[in-house]
Structure 1
Amino acid sequence: SSPGRPDIGGWNITNQFVQPVWLLALWTVAYSLVLFVSVSGNVIVVWIILAHKQMRTVTNYFLLNLALADTSMAAFNSFVNFVYAAHGDWYFGLVYCKFHNFLPVTAVFASIYSMVAIAVDRYMAIIHPLKPRLSATVTRSVIGCIWGMAVVLAFPLCYYSTTKKIGQRTLCYVYWPRTAQDSFMYHIIVAVLVYVLPLVVMAGTYSLVGRTLWGGEIPGDSKDNYHLQIQAKRKVVKMMMIVVVTFAVCWLPYHLYFMITGLNRQLNRVKSIQQVYLSVLWLAMSSTMYNPVIYCCLNSRFRAGFKRAMRCCPFVRLSEYDQMELHSARLDLRLVPQTCINTLPTPYHYPLCIYSSCYYLLKHFSHCKHSPTETHTPVGQDP
């Protein structure tokens, strides 16, 4: 069946899943919220990364890919999926039926493996810091491979999707050669490849990274300013761990739903199954709207970018510090004497500080006998 709803075998010619108007209105508001927050938030994330050269790092390239995948899912699938599940009638034609079934697996695959790529990059940066990092070209190639594999995995859904007129209703579904067996096996394969396997990989990599960051010393780092060096790495890893956990929580009920209904197909005929499905579908689709909020809360540069994008709102104040966060080069405080750093105000206690601000402050301290050395985090790399 389509990833969007129970298969055709669970539907009668007359629609047994008619909802009260008030309940349909509540679901409409809930799905509209996902659509608005996800599209607007992820579009701002894309703009922040593309419009500001300082944001073009390896991690952010993969976050860009993640945002594009989430935007496409929310814009082209979430609300259409809701309309179809709520009304039990397909209004959008055969071509969009194929696209509707093809897109979710493609987008989710691209999302989760972008997270895997970030996890592997963080692992290499922290556990093996002396090994070469990904260049911008290699990063783009990895992103291209991710989308290529996503298309291959989702292609059967596009190929076998069809529409059928039954009574007064039109259904959009996947007509597998062996309907029950093929549908169930495909959902198992998808669950393993886009949920279980990547989560196991990320659990392993982040466990090793976490043990190093919170329980030991970072290989290759010196003792000078050690707590400042590790602070930036911890922030990035903590943010990504929250993103991964959010994804896992949102998609677990969705995969369980299809496994359970695949094992017991009679559940598709139970009237309450529609409300169960709309609930797990909403939770899965809502995964596309949380990431921008997480970035804004946990990353100062993304927070500054959101403030700049929303500066027309009366309650948003864009400070000079926010402007410098997005446009200034950064000074590596690991090369600055500790006595200088200790005299800096708290906002500047970062391993990679705003260069213009740090230099302006540092050069006025008489006890700093050596001029700070200007270094930049190379484009395509992270702290």
Structure 2
Amino acid sequence: MPNQTRGEPAGINLTCGMSGSHEFIFTLVPIVYAFNFVIGIVGNSMVVAVIYCYMKLKTVANIFVLNLAMSDLTFVITLPMWATFAAMGYHWPFGGFLCKTAAGLVMFNLYTSIFFLTALSIDRYLAIVHPVRSRQFRTVVYAHITCVMIWLFAFLLSVPIALTRDVHYIENSKTIVCGTLHPNDKDVKRLNNLLLCISLMKSLLGFLIPFVIIITCYCLIGRALLRVKHIQKSSCSRDDEVLRMLAAAVLAFFLCWAPHQVFHFMQMLTQLILANNCTILEIIDTAMPFTICIAYFNSCVNPIVYSFVGRNFRKNLLRLLRCSPGGVARPHPSISSKMSAFSFRASEALSLTVKNSVSCDVK
């Protein structure tokens, strides 16, 4: 198996050449990565600082949002390496260990981000639709246990990615790349099956199944909120604000990851039945860097969608920038209490349907 040894690694000749190698990619992609790096570092660092200093870890939602921000931070620190890789024409100067580490962290972030978004969606569903019955399960202790399980499970899922990545010398372009292992005559079938399993896990566990769960939770939440609004017979701006927040979260998740998952699925098909079709491989390899840029942008969007939309978060952010003490602050409603407060209104209103008596009183 070809690896770099003293600057003279064994070479690989690509059947279709260096597909997707275009000058505009080598210029545009590093710029986008740099933008994602700056926004991701600043945005997620502010989320961590504000939650830790002012909001504290007293609610389940705050714990999940904090862990989501920490997950994004662990990923964005690898963006300078990927930006350098693209700017140098897909030349990897950092060695085999960082190649494996950076590739593993990319997948680690994919799984942790989506799992935390899913956990947050389930928590919001329980808090709004079943606020009383779910109270015994929605505790800080259970939230911490869930976070530990997510970190461990995501780590296990990302290990195969790290093990199947290494540096290779491409004789066609005289460059060293960080890519998947190149099979030899003895292990072609075994390695291809392993890579196919990894791709299927990425599509199913990294997108499809969590997306179905998130959509289901938010549809049930939306139905409950609309039902309450209908029962109360009154316009409520809080209802609309919650619905907009949920819609923005789902939309951001889908728009950021769907393009990459579509081309990733096409890549799996080429691996199975169209391996020698250089035209299709060229299209996929050209589009893939841009879909990855969009997917990576999700790490920048998360702080905006889940935190910066709240007025109180912006107030606490200003307090943080002014170095105001956090000990005397009032409890911060943020995402959790803003939605939980409405959940008690929802449960109260929904209970009226059982009694068949609808109250139109508004405080």
TM-score, shorter chain, exceeding 0.5? yes
- The equivalent residue for 2:36 is 34
State the secondary structure of the residue aligned to 2:293.
helix
Q: Is the 8 A contact 1:251 1:283 kept in 2?
A: yes
| TM-score for both structures, normalised by structure 1 | 0.70
- The equivalent residue for 1:80 is 81
- Within 5 Å, which residues of 2 pair with 1:304-323? 304-310=315-321
Q: Does 1:260 align with 2:294?
A: no
In structure 2, stretches of 5+ residues that fail to align are 1-10, 334-339, 343-363
Q: Is the 8 A contact 1:41 1:289 kept in 2?
A: yes
- The equivalent residue for 1:195 is 207
- The equivalent residue for 2:64 is 62
- The equivalent residue for 1:303 is 314
Q: Does 1:123 align with 2:125?
A: yes
**CA drift at 1:267:** 4.5
Q: Is the 8 A contact 1:267 1:273 kept in 2?
A: no
Between the aligned partners of 1:307 and 1:330, the Cα distance in structure 2 is 14
Between the aligned partners of 1:96 and 1:233, the Cα distance in structure 2 is 47
Q: Is the 8 A contact 1:232 1:351 kept in 2?
A: no
Q: Is the 8 A contact 2:263 2:284 kept in 1?
A: no
Between the aligned partners of 2:13 and 2:297, the Cα distance in structure 1 is 26
- Within 5 Å, which residues of 2 pair with 1:1-383? 11=14, 19-20=22-23, 24-53=26-55, 56-76=58-78, 78-86=79-87, 87-131=89-133, 132-167=136-171, 168-175=174-181, 177=187, 178-216=190-228, 232=238, 235-236=241-242, 238-264=244-270, 265=275, 266-267=277-278, 273-295=284-306, 297-310=308-321, 327-329=329-331
Between the aligned partners of 2:283 and 2:80, the Cα distance in structure 1 is 21
**CA drift at 1:248:** 1.5
CA pair 279-139 structure 1, distance change in 2 beyond 3 A: same
State the secondary structure of the residue aligned to 1:152.
helix
State the secondary structure of the residue aligned to 1:163.
strand
**CA drift at 1:115:** 1.2
CA pair 269-195 structure 1, distance change in 2 beyond 3 A: closer
State the secondary structure of the residue aligned to 1:90.
coil
Between the aligned partners of 2:192 and 2:80, the Cα distance in structure 1 is 27
Could you tell me the percent identity over the aligned residues?
22
Equivalent residue letter for 1:214? L
Q: Which moved more, 1:292-301 or 1:188-197?
A: 292-301
| TM-score for both structures, normalised by structure 2 | 0.73
Q: Deviation per CA, 1:165-205, whole angstroms, max 9, x where unpaired?
A: 34442232232753434323321221111101011111111
Q: Is the 8 A contact 2:34 2:83 kept in 1?
A: no
Equivalent residue letter for 2:140? A
Equivalent residue letter for 1:63? V
Q: Is the 8 A contact 2:121 2:214 kept in 1?
A: yes
Q: Deviation per CA, 1:131-159, whole angstroms, max 9, x where unpaired?
A: 22422121111000001110111111122
Equivalent residue letter for 1:328? R
- Count of residues paired in the alignment: 310
Between the aligned partners of 2:278 and 2:258, the Cα distance in structure 1 is 19
Between the aligned partners of 1:237 and 1:33, the Cα distance in structure 2 is 29
Q: Is the 8 A contact 2:29 2:86 kept in 1?
A: no
Between the aligned partners of 2:200 and 2:33, the Cα distance in structure 1 is 27
Question: Does 1 or 2 have the higher relative contact order (CA < 8 Å, sep 6+)?
Answer: 2
Equivalent residue letter for 1:203? I
In structure 1, stretches of 5+ residues that fail to align are 1-7, 313-317, 332-349, 353-383
